[in-house]
Amino acid sequence: MKNLVSIFAGHDASVSFWNAETNKYYTIEIERLVKKRYFRLHVDNSPEYQMEILKQCRDIAEEEWGIKDDYEAVLICSDGYIEVDPRQIFNTNTVQTVAMHHHTHAAAAFYMSPFSQALIVSYDGGGDDGHFNIFAGSQEGLKLLEKIPSDFGGGYLLAGSMIKEVAECSRSQLALAGKMMGLCAYGSVIEAHLDPFKDFFFDRDYRRLAERTKLNLKNLDNPWDNPLENWNFESKGGYDIAATAQAAFEYALFGVLDRYDPNVPIILTGGCGLNVLVNEKIKCLYDRPVYVPPNPHDGGLSLGHLFLYKKPDHQVNITYSGLPLLDRNKLQSYIDEYGARKVNKIEIAQLIKGGKILGLVYGDSEVGPRALGNRSIVCDPNIADMKDILNSKVKFREWYRPFAPFCKKEEAYKYFESRNFDNLEYMSYAPLVKKEYREKLPSITHADNTARLQTVTKESHSGFYEILTHFGEISETNVLLNTSFNIRGYPILSTIEDALYALNNTEMDYVVIEDYLFSKKVK
């Protein structure tokens, strides 16, 4: 078999590759290539621009991963069409549409999971096969068990659009979910509104929600037309709506899960798989393993199509098989320009302990929407005002947005409370911070005392592990803060130029690029 390439052209567009010679997989999230969040390859762009982007992806695959321009087939996701014929770009005569939206989500998650069988929940704002599908995964493949007529993802976004602090600064409705998830910790559940909101996730009846809650909702006739214009609740009122919608979302999902075999592992995928609060509760409520892939969002669809076309013969690990630094050939010139010097992990740990904020750039980027060490900003979470500094002077984002900790997997039990600490490599869960550490780790302890934890091992990320080893020798707590290396409105960076721009235009102190320490440019 020759090489394979798969294209998803909807929002969070991506191109994934399979190298026939090495049996390895790679994914390019196009938003990082073009520096536009939630980028859609189709509709919004001319055919000429679509061709240009696909050619860039092909060239990166050949130059960086040794995937020659000789493909068996180009796979096109069924709900993310493109307006150009990619066969000439990838030197093949075959174009094939493989599967439906949720089938593809399920495949991407299952074949990256450690399970030989599982109950797979794929739910989001919708695709060409609905919004909520449940599959059984086994060695024989995937079997659809149920299509549920609900829109958990759309309902969650629309709930977020009601709230001023969530909606007014959003550039895309796709940004609403993460913001609301952060804000809900500041509110209280309105018990009388739980059932109306729970039903709303199934029936999408906005007018009925208004009638049952007596809330003054906007745009009753067509709230889905422009959700970003819906908000009219703020401060405590808005916080309570966020908390209520989150609780209703959780109860609605539990009601679905309770119908199925309690003896098999659970896999959560689709955009709603990024809801760390419900993921943690499922892990704690259901006595069985739970897995969430690093890329449950639509950016993982191109990879899922590869798996469906050619079933993997091993558990696939694609965590750090993303976009390389596009200008890494200029690294030496930047080293010379900035007078950068080599630095080891001991010194990095010392700088962090000294209160410095560092950007870290290593190798190929992480796959998925969360930084996991190769494109990260790190600092000491023991510093009380570090969260506010990061939000206001580095990330330039809303005050209520939380930050994630990372620690060694074998030490996680010291600082956090959870049923277990398996499958926490991708910031997919939000365990409680132990009471005795909430004041000691203020910058990663959210208002509800949770933290979106990433655990690391020597095998999962040797660099992070080594930094933690040295930090633990000089600090009372061996936990560090990790957030994505980007600034508001932009995706995770893909160039040295962008890393140095962030260094010089924010309150970051240093950037480390492939073990070279860069200081701010003297003006």
Which domains does the chain carry? 3-101+300-309 (3.30.420), 152-252 (no CATH), 328-519 (3.90.870.20)
Local structure of 163: helix, strand or coil: strand
Residues 6+ apart with CB under 8 A from 96: 73, 74, 75, 76, 309
Structure tokens at 452: 């979106």
pLDDT of residue 173: 86
Distance between CA 437 and CA 382 in Å, rounded? Answer: 10
Closest CA to 304 of 3, 6, 2, 1: 6
Residues 6+ apart with CB under 8 A from 392: 399
- What's the rounded mean pLDDT across residues 240-257? 96
**Looking at the predicted structure, is the pLDDT value of residue 523 above 70?**
no
Structure confidence by residue, pLDDT tens digits, 139-169 = 999 999 999 988 899 999 999 999 999 998 7
Closest CA to 286 of 123, 131, 158, 119: 119
- Confidence grade of residue 112 (pLDDT, cut at 50, 70, 90): very high
> How many residues does this entry show for the chain?
523
Distance between CA 85 and CA 55 in Å, rounded? Answer: 12
Burial of 139 (0-12, 13-18, 19+ CB in 10 A): exposed
Read off φ and ψ for residue 385, nearest 5 degrees: -95, 10
- Confidence grade of residue 514 (pLDDT, cut at 50, 70, 90): very high
pLDDT of residue 88: 86
Say if residues 478 and 471 touch (Cβ distance below 8 Å): yes
Closest CA to 330 of 343, 340, 344, 342: 340
CA 264: distance to chain centroid? 25
Read off φ and ψ for residue 420, nearest 5 degrees: -155, 170
Structure confidence by residue, pLDDT tens digits, 30-48 = 999 999 999 998 877 898 9
For the chain, how big is the Rg over CA atoms in Å?
Answer: 22
Distance between CA 166 and CA 410 in Å, rounded? Answer: 36
Local structure of 126: helix, strand or coil: strand
pLDDT of residue 80: 63
Distance between CA 109 and CA 120 in Å, rounded? Answer: 8
Structure confidence by residue, pLDDT tens digits, 268-306 = 999 999 999 999 999 999 888 999 999 999 999 999 999
pLDDT of residue 386: 94
Residues 6+ apart with CB under 8 A from 341: 516, 517
Distance between CA 80 and CA 468 in Å, rounded? Answer: 41
pLDDT of residue 1: 81
Which helix (H) or strand (E) segment is 171 a member of? none
Structure confidence by residue, pLDDT tens digits, 95-104 = 887 678 999 9
- Confidence grade of residue 171 (pLDDT, cut at 50, 70, 90): confident
Local structure of 285: helix, strand or coil: helix
Distance between CA 165 and CA 397 in Å, rounded? Answer: 11
* CA-angle at 63, arms to 58 and 65, nearest 5°: 85
**Looking at the predicted structure, is the pLDDT value of residue 209 above 70?**
yes
pLDDT of residue 95: 85
